[in-house]
Amino acid sequence: MTYEPVIGMEVHVELSTQSKVFCGCSNDFHAPANSNVCPVCLGMPGVLPVLNGRAVEYSVLVGLALNCTISRWSKMDRKNYFYPDLAKNYQISQYDLPLCHDGFIDIEVDGKTKRIGITRAHLEEDTARNSHTVAGRESGVDFNRCGVPLLEIVTEPDIRSADEAYAYLSSLKQILQYLDVSDCNMEEGSIRAEANISIRPTGTEPFGTKTEVKNVASFSGTQKAIEYEIKRQTKILDDGGTVDQVTMGWDADRGVTVTQRSKESAHDYRYFPEPDLTPIVVDEAWETRLRKSMPELPQVRRARFMEEHGLSEYDASILIADKAAADYFEQTVSAGAPGKLAANWIMGDLQALMTEKQGTINALPITPGHLAEMIGLIEDGSISGKIAKDLLPEMYDSEKAPGDLVKEKGLAQISDTSVLEQMGADLIEANPGPAEDFRNGSERAIGFFVGQMMKATKGQANPKLANEIMRKLLQQ
Amino acid sequence: MSEPIHLKSAHSLRDAIRAKEISAREAAEAYLDHIDAVDGDVRAYTDVWREPALARADAIDSQLAKGEDAGPLAGVPIGLKDLICTTEGTTACCSELLKGFRSPYDATVAEKLYAAGTVVLGKLNMDEFAMGSSTENSSVVTTRNPWNLDCVPGGSSGGSAAAVSAHECAISLGSDTGGSIRQPAACCGCVGMKPTYGRVSRYGLVAFASSLDQIGPFSRDVEDCALTLNTICGHDRRDSTSANLEVPDFTTSLTGDVKGVRVGLPKEYFTDALGVEIRAKIDSAVKVLESCGAEVVEVSLPHTEYAVATYYIICTAEASANLARFDGVRYGNRAPDTQSPEEMYKKTKSAGFGAEVQRRILLGTYVLSSGYYDAYYLKAQKVRTLIKQDFDAAFEKCDVIVTPTTPTPAFRIGEKSDDPLSMYLSDIYTISANLGGNPAISLPCGLTESGLPAGLQIIGRPFEEGAVLQSAYAFEQNSGIDLGVPTAIAESVS
Ligand SMILES: [Zn+2]
């Protein structure tokens, strides 16, 4: 039998506000353990939460970018469960009235656009981090992360494959980066994805029993885990078995999903409205102001790159995927470089150089202005493309302007006809054999002479001019 | 011979200190000595801060010596209920679980009272985590009623009420979730007021039921109550539920006059459940107000009979979450030698919480549970709205509502310990004001034949504490009622 996978995603995003969601502590949890804490986020007796307005704004921005309806009136709720990483033993979250709901996101898979429904996006607080020493059988809790604002984004069960899930996560991450509301660092857990996966016989409506896969460290890991889970569930059903509703983890080393918790131990969270906070009211004026402040989103930018800068859909897609790269591209273009050339250099040599140097586009020693200047030098014939390829690492290491480096190192292209003519005459005299070959009709011989000329000039001869001059001299 | 210092009201003591007739140190010493004399009997304090109090009094004196304004309550000795967080001493909520707990911060009300020049003498006894009506649920000691040491002082702020009544401090703070200020004030014969929900910051008040809790003062007269409210009320950005409203000078409401004030008597409060003796006191109190120009009208609060049930669902639900944090992980007394978090929670809470607290946590957990939420918690929230609407409708017809504070005077220690339901009914007249969020005061309206105080409750519209104080002051000034020094400690006072 063939089956159709039905997948819904829950993504937790840590919002990069200055302070935590209910207290004034810094949101930076890289600090030494338990240094960004206060009575409020430690859940000391008598403390009260105060909602961070920026966290609400960041959430609304995400909601708007995901085409959601923004609730005029929503509230926070208490989600009750006991765990040492939860200071109050309840998490302040949103239950029945999320801040954002009923949106969608369009993703692209295999050149086709697909719409994924967004059920809701709600604001809550992150938990602390537990750590355990095996030797001493001791546990510690670092509360720096406790109270970091967290946006949970839940999709409809509209995803039908691991590739779609990957495309969804990538598109979502792009949007979050464009909105600049999260540092989107997977390794540090600032985006955490969970997938609810079930399969059903193709062509049927009812959902199968789902499993939940969480705690996967990367988007590609999530993709692999979903692929694995679809195969696993298919095999179970094909063998006449039934899928158990369980929560699973992903063992990246073995490439398998592993059961973590069964349905029986599912919690009753006893949600009820948080009495310490007043309702969240986002009036039309506030929503409009946030809508106006929205930056250009990735999809729109891609279309504009194709339209304004003549990029192919492929090139535009690659550039917009990383907001920093797209920004760099636009800055290079505004500094005077033609779009197509700028894109080629950024995605080609510059990307390779960054990979080699383990640099990032955010901290690139080559400014967009310098890259544009270098492209200009090629365009006006001052340097050859080959010289430019050698020049790029020099620019990277020295952080100097390409024009200055060309002068300093004498790399300017030789376009002086008389110099090249004299050199060509000398080469013909020194190599009568190949000259004879050319006269006997061997086109290859011209390549020999141009090569010799380039060698003699350390690559600085203008290759086009060198070719013309050699042909003229040999034909004389 | 002049009046002993500890018999003075807070405002007259403050005036004497400002006039340098009495030093803040003399005042503090007088009170500390009196605590030494009577607290062995009354048992109002759980912790007396002798040295810090004297140091603080000296600081006030040197401020005054330099001609500085030492605040509107300069040198006034006060006490704080044991659930108001202070960096000085401990804040244990009279629970084994928090025994020895030192708060890393001061509650907003504590900061405000320090700034007003008060001298804190120590922490006062209460029912554990404010759950109870007698202070018998304190893990430390049972406070005794200064009018009869065999009787309870009421609760949960029993220590705060008894301390003021027994002149062991001039003013104290308590907290009121369902009557925990007004009921002990009535039992001990002092003035106790629960301001409007949101009037006083709850930051630093260890929460029992967040949507009901409110801090308020105990005092020996209405003027001291108004003065204390002037100090503790006001918006606090650390408490989102505190109202961002201007705070009037409440002493301006103390005119002694109630001409044209419409006093509402809710018929649902004057039933057979009300003891005959108390009823007679309330009737004569109403006559006093009438004689001062008030117009008496009958009003109806039709959902009154559901108030106690509604209250116990909401307060236990909120408490079950509020008390979850006391798990021994970050502070408090953790049960030793446990092998898993679950075992640690169970043993810590079983050993640390008393029976009543455990009962309420279980009740609250139950009413929030999947499958029961709609029938209990949600239904209770709906009835709460109806009770609020009752008040709104009644306040169309009247300006203040007058009721008894309690159906009976203070009961004997141990009398209701095994009967939680009858204990819960001690708050039958006070609970509605918490559900509605209204301000309400209790002040003495006489002694019963057995020599125990009776309390008169005056309820106002939200944020109209002024109207409540106006009627209370008019009654106090015109009733001729002055209970004097409680009989059980009278000997030590002379
Ligand atoms: Zn904090």
Of A48, A83, A88, the CB nearest to B238: A48
**DSSP calls for A81-102:** ---TTSTTSEEEE--SS-SEEE
The answer to whether A7 faces chain B, any CB pair under 8 Å, is: no
In A, residues 244-273, which contact B (CB 8 Å cutoff)?
268, 270-272
The domain tally of chain A equals 3
ipTM for the whole complex: 0.96
Q: Are residues A395 and A435 in the same domain?
A: no
Q: Which residues of B does the annotation mark as catalytic?
A: 81, 156, 180
Mean residue pLDDT of chain A comes to 92
Which residues of chain B carry a pLDDT beneath 70?
Answer: 1, 493-494
The answer to whether A46 faces chain B, any CB pair under 8 Å, is: yes
B241: which residues sit within 8 A by CB, 6+ positions away?
Answer: A48, A275, A276, A277, A278, B197, B198, B202, B210, B211
Supply the pLDDT for residue B1.
Answer: 47
Q: Are residues A270 and A372 in the same domain?
A: no
Of B105, B209, B377, the CB nearest to A39: B105
Supply the pLDDT for residue B494.
Answer: 54
Nearest CA-CA partner of B47 in B92, B105, B14, B2: B92
Q: Are residues A57 and A163 in the same domain?
A: yes
Q: Are residues A369 and A467 in the same domain?
A: no
The answer to whether B129 faces chain A, any CB pair under 8 Å, is: no
Query: Which range (A299-303, A323-327, A460-464, B204-208) has the least confidence?
Result: A460-464
Q: How confident is the model at residue A445 (pLDDT cuts 50, 70, 90)?
A: confident
Q: How confident is the model at residue A263 (pLDDT cuts 50, 70, 90)?
A: low
Q: What is the pLDDT of residues A188-227, one digit of tens each?
A: 889 999 999 999 999 999 999 999 999 888 899 999 999 9
A476: which residues sit within 8 A by CB, 6+ positions away?
Answer: none
Q: Are residues A342 and A248 in the same domain?
A: no
CA–centroid distance, B207 to ligand 1, in Å, is 18
Q: How far apart are CA B377 and CA B363, in angstroms?
A: 11
Mean pLDDT of A288-313: 94
CB contact under 8 Å between B330 and A87, yes or no, is yes
In a domain, A388, yes or no: yes
Top residue of A23, A37, A47 to mutate, by most chain B CBs within 10 Å, is A47
Q: Are residues A46 and A195 in the same domain?
A: yes
The stretches of B44-177 forming alpha helices (DSSP H) are 50-65, 108-115, 158-165
CA distance B253 to chain A (A): 31
Cα B173–chain centre separation? 6
The answer to whether the beta carbons of residues A184 and A362 sit under 8 Å apart is no
Q: Are residues A222 and A156 in the same domain?
A: yes
Map residue A135 onto helix, strand or coil. coil
CA distance A273 to chain B (A): 9
The answer to whether the beta carbons of residues B266 and B457 sit under 8 Å apart is no
Q: Give strand pairing partners of A140.
A: A131
The answer to whether A89 faces chain B, any CB pair under 8 Å, is: yes
Supply the pLDDT for residue B477.
Answer: 97
Q: Give strand pairing partners of A177.
A: none
**Which domain-ending residue is among A286, A306, A329?**
A286
In a domain, A291, yes or no: no
B342 interaction partners in chain A (CB closer than 8 Å): 82
Tell me which residue has tokens 């009770």. B387
The CATH code of the domain that includes A453 is 1.10.10.410
Q: What angle do the packed helices B307-322 and B379-397 form, to 10 degrees?
A: 130
CB contact under 8 Å between B107 and A84, yes or no, is no
Q: Are residues A345 and A447 in the same domain?
A: no
Q: Give strand pairing partners of A113.
A: A108
Q: Are residues A147 and A14 in the same domain?
A: yes
Nearest CA-CA partner of B451 in B405, B409, B407, B482: B409
The residue count for chain A? 476
CB contact under 8 Å between A48 and B240, yes or no, is yes
Q: How far apart are CA A158 and CA A161, in angstroms?
A: 10
Nearest CA-CA partner of B233 in B108, B124, B122, B115: B108
Q: Are residues A195 and A130 in the same domain?
A: yes
**Which domain-ending residue is among A235, A254, A286?**
A286
CA distance B369 to chain A (A): 5
Of A45, A80, A87, the CB nearest to B91: A45
Supply the pLDDT for residue A250.
Answer: 92
Domains detected in chain B: 5-301+390-493 (3.90.1300.10)
Q: Are residues A267 and A377 in the same domain?
A: no
Q: Are strands B400-404 and B453-460 parallel, antiparallel or unpaired?
A: antiparallel
Nearest CA-CA partner of B79 in B102, B101, B109, B105: B109
Question: pTM for this structure?
Answer: 0.90
Nearest CA-CA partner of B93 in B205, B238, B210: B205
The answer to whether the beta carbons of residues B254 and B286 sit under 8 Å apart is no
Q: How far apart are CA A3 and CA A322, in angstroms?
A: 35
The answer to whether A34 faces chain B, any CB pair under 8 Å, is: no
A405 residue type, one letter: L
Q: How confident is the model at residue A446 (pLDDT cuts 50, 70, 90)?
A: confident
Element containing residue A298 per DSSP (H, E): helix A298-309
The answer to whether the beta carbons of residues B314 and B209 sit under 8 Å apart is yes
**Which domain-ending residue is among A258, A286, A314?**
A286
**DSSP calls for A105-120:** EEEEETTEEEEEEEEE
CA–centroid distance, A81 to ligand 1, in Å, is 20
Top residue of A21, A86, A89, A144 to mutate, by most chain B CBs within 10 Å, is A89
Q: What is the pLDDT of residues A331-382, one digit of tens each?
A: 999 999 999 999 999 999 999 999 999 988 888 999 999 999 999 998 887 8
The answer to whether the beta carbons of residues B465 and B439 sit under 8 Å apart is yes
Of A83, A89, A275, the CB nearest to B210: A275
In a domain, A208, yes or no: yes
CA–centroid distance, A146 to ligand 1, in Å, is 8
A278 interaction partners in chain B (CB closer than 8 Å): 240-241
CB contact under 8 Å between B325 and A80, yes or no, is no
A220: which residues sit within 8 A by CB, 6+ positions away?
Answer: A166
Residue A425 Ramachandran class (φ > 0 left, ψ -120 to 50 alpha, else beta): alpha
Supply the pLDDT for residue B493.
Answer: 62
Q: Are residues A217 and A361 in the same domain?
A: no
Nearest CA-CA partner of A42 in B103, B209, B339: B103
State the residue range of the domain holding A317.
296-409
CB contact under 8 Å between B207 and A82, yes or no, is no
A-B contacts (CB, under 8 Å): 105
